[in-house]
Structure 1
Amino acid sequence: MIIGMLHHRKDPQKVVKSYAFAAVAKAEGAELLYFTPKAVDFSQNVIHGYVYVNGVWEKKDSPFPEVVYNAGSPEKLAKSHNIIAKLKELIPFTTYSIGNKMRVYQRLKLEGKFAQYLIPSEVIHSTRRFFDLFNTYRKVVFKPVNGRKGQGITYIEGVRDRYNIRSCEGNCVLSFEELRDLVAQKLRDESHLLQPYINCKTKSGISYDVRLHVQKDGAGKWLITAIYPRFAPEGSIVSNINSGGSTNYLIPFLKQEFGDEYFNIKRYLEHFSLQLAAHMDEVQQKYFNERIDELGIDAGLDDLGKIWVYEVNWRPGCPPTFYLELDVVRNMIKYAMYLARERKDMYNNITGGTSIGVKPFRREVYA
Structure 2
Amino acid sequence: MIRIGMLHHRKHPDSVIKAYAYAAVAMAEGTEMIYFSPGGINLKTKTISGFEYKDGEWVEGTFPFPHVIYNTGSPEKLAKSNDVIQELKKNIPFTTHSIGNKMSVYRRLKEAGEFTQYLIPSEVVRGTNHFFSFLDAYRKIVFKPVNGRKGQSIILIERVGNDFRLLINTDDRLYSYDELKEFVSTHIGEEDFLVQPYINCRTKDGSVFDFRLHVQKNGEGKWVITSIYPRIGAPGTIVSNINSGGSMNYLVPFLKQEYGDDYFNIKGYLEKFSLLLARHMDKLQKDRYSETIDELGIDVALDDLGKIWIYEVNWRPGCPPTFYLEMDVVKNTIQYCIYLAKKNSRIKK
TM-score bin, normalised by smaller chain: over 0.9
* Letter of the structure 1 residue corresponding to residue 35 of structure 2: Y
Q: How does 1:169-184 map to 2 (within 5 A)?
A: 170-184=171-185
Q: How does 1:11-30 map to 2 (within 5 A)?
A: 11-30=12-31
Tell me by how many angstroms 1:11 deviates.
Answer: 1.0
AA partner of residue 131 (structure 1): F
Query: 2-side partners of 1:207 and 1:135: how far apart?
Result: 24
- Greater Cα shift, 175-184 or 123-132: 175-184
The answer for the alignment partner of 1:257 in structure 2 is 258
Structure 2: distance between partners of 1:210 and 1:167: 22
- Any idea what the Cα deviations from partners look like across 1:32-52, whole Å, max 9, x if unmatched? 101111211222221111100
| Secondary structure at 2:130 match in 1 | helix
Q: Distance between the aligned counterparts of 1:333 and 1:60, measured in 2? A: 22
Residues 239-280 of structure 1, C-alpha deviations (whole Å, 9 max, x = no match): 011111111000000001110000000000000000000000
Task: Map 1:10-159; keep pairs closer than 5 Å.
Answer: 10-159=11-160
CA-to-aligned-CA distance 1:42-65 (integer Å, 9 cap, x gap): 222211111000110001211111
Corresponding letter in the other structure for 1:193: L
Tell me, which stretches of 5 or more residues in structure 1 are unaligned? 348-355, 358-367
1:170 Cα deviation (Å)?
2.2
Deviation at 1:318, TM superposition (A): 2.0
Question: Which whole-Å CA distance do the structure 2 matches of 1:133 and 1:44 have between them?
Answer: 56
Query: Aligned ranges for residues 237-276 of structure 1 at < 5 Å?
Result: 237-276=238-277
Partners in 1 of 2:301 and 2:81 — Cα distance? Answer: 38
**TM-score for both structures, normalised by structure 2:** 0.98
User: Matches of residues 299-338 of structure 1 in structure 2 within 5 Å?
Assistant: 299-338=300-339
Instruction: Identify the residue that residue 229 of structure 1 maps to in structure 2.
Output: 230
Q: Is the 8 A contact 2:169 2:238 kept in 1?
A: no
Give yes or no for contact 2:164–2:176 (8 Å, CA) kept in 1. yes
State the match for 2:216 in structure 1.
215
Kindly provide the CA deviation profile for residues 260-311 of structure 1, in whole angstroms up to 9, marking residues without a partner as x.
0000000000000000000000011111111110000000011100000011
The Cα of 1:319 is off from its aligned counterpart by 2.2
Match for 1:205: what amino acid? G
8 Å CA contact 2:97–2:293 kept in 1: the answer is: yes
> Could you say what secondary structure the match of 1:143 adopts?
strand
Partner SS for 1:116: helix
| Cα separation, 1, equivalents of 2:91 and 2:332 | 23
Unaligned segments of structure 2, at least 5 residues: none
Contact preservation (8 Å) 2:170, 2:236: no
Q: Tell me which amino acid in the other structure corresponds to 1:124.
A: V
2:199 aligned residue: 198
Cα displacement string for residues 101-159 of structure 1 (whole angstroms, at most 9, x for unaligned residues): 00100010000000000000000010100000101101000100011111111001111
2: CA distance between counterparts of 1:142 and 1:230?
Answer: 20
- SS class of match (2:238): coil
CA distance in structure 1 between the aligned counterparts of 2:247 and 2:103, rounded to whole angstroms: 26
TM-score under structure 1 normalisation?
0.93
Whole-Å Cα distance in 2 between the matches of residues 80 and 318 of structure 1? 26
CA distance in 2 between counterparts of 1:198 and 1:320 reads 26
Following TM superposition, by how much is the alpha carbon of 1:169 offset from its aligned partner in structure 2, in angstroms? Answer: 6.8
- Equivalent position amino acid for 2:256 in 1: K
| Greater Cα shift, 171-180 or 15-24 | 171-180
What count of residue pairs does the alignment treat as equivalent? 347
Q: Distance in 2 between matches of 1:207 and 1:312?
A: 19
Rounded Cα–Cα distance in structure 1 between residues aligned with 2:60 and 2:13: 10
- Find runs of 4+ consecutive structure 1 residues off by over 6 angstroms: none
Higher helix share: 1
Question: RMSD of aligned C-alpha atoms?
Answer: 1.0
1:198-233 superposed Cα distances (whole Å, 9 cap, x missing partner): 111111111111110000000010000110111111
Whole-angstrom distance in 1 between the partners of 2:42 and 2:170:
47
The one-letter amino acid paired with 1:318 is C
**Identity %, equivalent residues:** 60
SS in structure 2 at match of 1:20: helix
